[in-house]
């Protein structure tokens, strides 16, 4: 299995440009002053379906059609934004879709997936959802778009960082959250393809640390049970064999506690005046930890992965007040 190349990101960018949004890049002068560095945020909450996942789903279907492989039916499995992304992209290209989701998935994401016209099948666990989609994908004319472990999905996700670096120029480091590793792998390929000296650094919840353990042990580790984290975009049970090959090329990787994640979810919401999913805040804490070790002023990019957050999660995010303690290194 060959590694995905920078040229694949460029192809994906051309392929999806007519369909997806070019999302904005934000910065905060007060945060820059507090931390002493230049920090930029790629706001994927402004993407179609409110998350970066639209890029990978759209690229995969467009690539299939481009290669005369348009399926009769599309299936997918997801606990979060990928479900909406596939439903949206399938509708865009006129293909019926069925999405398998665990019952504990965000209610607003289940509802949104249905609203895009997909059939939603709820399963009692993520493992069962994964097994069901694998089974039905063997039927003739059915194509399975996995949430991260697919070359075209990863290539599509990488266009977010490609766009941002085209806009702001070279940076010292790029930070992105890690669930199954699709966004992080794509970010790595894009950043290194544009600026070879750029560091690319990942982050995941300590309570869902399968990627961290996998990198530590140099083999894919699978979680034994549903992760207990508010970062529903990072609740995958394991990374994939494709993403793992790329994740091993990262410059650093951090485990983030729930409290650290909630701290930055509140502060980024407050400072940037944006809707922030807890998963999006993982990269900011990783950036803080990395910047604390630097001896000179740095310019960094943080990917804010999405803005889909339901009432239940919102209440938990704001249960404690973290805004009384200003950000610092």
CA 197 to chain centre: 23
Sort 57 into a burial class: Cβ within 10 Å, 0-12 / 13-18 / 19+: buried
pLDDT of residue 211: 97
Q: What is the pLDDT of residues 98-155, one digit of tens each?
A: 999 888 887 888 888 999 999 999 998 878 888 889 899 899 999 999 999 999 999 9
Distance CA 24, CA 216 (A): 35
Q: What is the pLDDT of residues 268-305, one digit of tens each?
A: 999 999 999 999 999 999 999 999 999 999 999 999 99
What integer is the mean pLDDT of 37-50?
97
Report whether pLDDT(2) > 80.
no
Report whether pLDDT(221) > 70.
yes
What integer is the mean pLDDT of 174-196?
97
What integer is the mean pLDDT of 315-327?
97
**Interhelix angle 81-92/53-66, nearest 10 degrees:** 40
Where is pLDDT greater, at 233 or 25? Answer: 25
pLDDT of residue 265: 98
Of 304, 301, 312, 317, the closest CA to residue 274 belongs to 304
- Which string of b and e fits 134-166 if b means at least 16 CB within 10 Å? eeebeeeebbbbbbbbbbbbbbbbbbbbbbbbe
275 — alpha (psi -120 to 50), left (phi > 0) or beta?
beta
Report whether pLDDT(13) > 90.
yes
What integer is the mean pLDDT of 316-327?
97
What integer is the mean pLDDT of 175-197?
97
Structure token pair of residue 110: 């289940």
Angle at Cα 149 formed by Cα 5 and Cα 158, nearest 5°? Answer: 45
Structure token pair of residue 269: 């919401």
pTM score, two decimals?
0.95
pLDDT of residue 1: 56
CA dist 51 to 204, 211, 218, 318, Å?
A: 17, 21, 30, 21
pLDDT of residue 104: 83
pLDDT of residue 310: 86
Confidence at 225, pLDDT banded by 50, 70, 90? confident
Report whether pLDDT(76) > 90.
yes
Q: What is the pLDDT of residues 189-217, one digit of tens each?
A: 999 999 999 999 999 999 999 999 999 99
């Amino acid at each position: 299995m060959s590694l995905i190349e920078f040229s694949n990101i460029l192809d994906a960018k051309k392929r999806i440009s007519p369909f997806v949004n070019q999302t904005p890049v934000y910065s905060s002068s007060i945060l820059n002053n507090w931390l002493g560095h230049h920090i930029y945020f790629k706001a994927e909450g402004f993407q179609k379906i409110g998350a970066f996942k639209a890029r990978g789903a759209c690229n995969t279907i467009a690539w299939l059609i481009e290669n005369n492989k348009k399926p009769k039916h599309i299936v997918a499995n997801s606990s979060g934004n990928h479900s909406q992304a596939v439903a949206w992209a399938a509708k865009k290209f006129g293909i019926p879709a069925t999405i398998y989701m665990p019952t504990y998935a965000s209610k607003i994401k289940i509802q949104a997936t249905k609203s895009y016209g997909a059939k939603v099948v709820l399963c009692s666990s993520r493992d069962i959802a994964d097994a069901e989609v694998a089974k039905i994908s063997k039927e003739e004319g059915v194509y399975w778009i996995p949430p991260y472990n697919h070359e075209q999905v990863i290539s599509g996700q990488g266009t977010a960082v490609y766009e941002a670096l085209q806009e702001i120029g070279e940076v010292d480091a790029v930070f992105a959250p890690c669930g199954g590793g699709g966004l992080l792998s794509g970010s790595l390929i894009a950043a290194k393809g544009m600026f070879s000296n750029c560091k690319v650094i990942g982050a995941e919840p300590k309570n869902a640390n399968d990627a961290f353990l996998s990198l530590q042990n140099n083999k894919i580790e699978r979680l034994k049970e549903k992760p207990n984290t508010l970062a529903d975009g990072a609740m995958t049970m394991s990374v994939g064999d494709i993403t793992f090959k790329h994740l091993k090329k990262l410059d650093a990787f951090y485990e983030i506690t729930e409290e650290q994640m909630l701290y930055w979810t509140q502060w980024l919401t407050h400072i940037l005046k944006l809707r922030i999913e807890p998963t999006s805040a993982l990269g900011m804490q990783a950036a803080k930890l990395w910047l604390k070790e630097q001896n000179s002023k740095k310019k960094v990019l943080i990917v804010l992965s999405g803005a889909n957050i339901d009432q239940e999660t919102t209440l938990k995010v704001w249960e404690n007040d973290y805004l009384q303690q200003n950000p610092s290194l």
